[in-house]
Amino acid sequence: MRSVAVGPDGIARCAWADGSDDYRAYHDSEWGRAVRGDVALFERIALEGFQSGLSWLTILRKREGFRLAFADFEPAAVAEFREADVARLMDDVSIVRNRRKIDATIQNAQALLALREAEGDGALDRLVWGYAPAPRRSRPRALSDLPASTPESAALSKELKRRGFGFVGPTTMYAAMQACGLVDDHVAGCHVVAGTG
C-alpha cells in the first residue's frame, strides 16, 4: 500500500486520506492535532468506539447526527439518558445504531462525571494526556510502520476501564491517540509534516 497519495488538489497526504473530500478535510484540519478538554475528548472517545469495526468515513459523515443525538456530547446530559433515550437512538438513522456502543457512551458519560467529582474539571484531559508517549525519534515512512496499539494505549485502556469506561480497548485508544494528537502518525512525505498543512 502507498504511504503517501497526491490528491486531486496536488497535495501529498497520508495515503489513508485519499479517496474522499471528507477524508482529505479531516486529515488536513483535524487528525493528529491536539484535542484538549473533557468534552472534546469524551466526544472523540465515543466516536472512536462507534467506529470500531467500521470505516472512519462512516463516522465522519454521521458526526453531526451524533452531536445532535448525544446533546453535543455534554457529559452531564448524556449521563441522564434513560431507556427511552436509548430507544430513540436505536431508531435514529443519523447515527450508528448499535446498542452496546450507545450503552457504552452513556456509561462513559457517567464515568466521566464520577472522574470529575473525584478529581475536578479537566480530569479526563489530564488522564488521557498523561499517557502521551515521548515523540518518536523518526517519522514513520509507511503506513505499515504504524502499530495497531502500543504499551501506552494499552495502559490508557486499562486505566479508563478501571475508572468505569467501556468500549475503550487498546486499539480503539490508539486510534484516539492518533486522532487527538497524542501521537503524530503523519508519514514522511505528507504535506502536514512539511509544515504546509
CA distance 20 to 165: 32
Closest CA to 177 of 151, 195, 197, 141: 151
Indicate the SS3 state at residue 1.
Answer: coil
Active-site residue flag, 80: no
> What is the DSSP annotation of 48-75?
HHHHTTS-HHHHHHHHHHHHHHTGGG-H
Active-site residue flag, 174: no
Active-site residue flag, 48: yes
Catalytic residue (choose from 48, 129, 152, 174): 48
Catalytic residue (choose from 26, 31, 129, 174): 26
Q: Which residues contact 40 (CB under 8 A, 6 or more apart)?
A: none
Catalytic residue (choose from 30, 56, 74, 80): 56
- List residues with catalytic annotation: 26, 48, 56
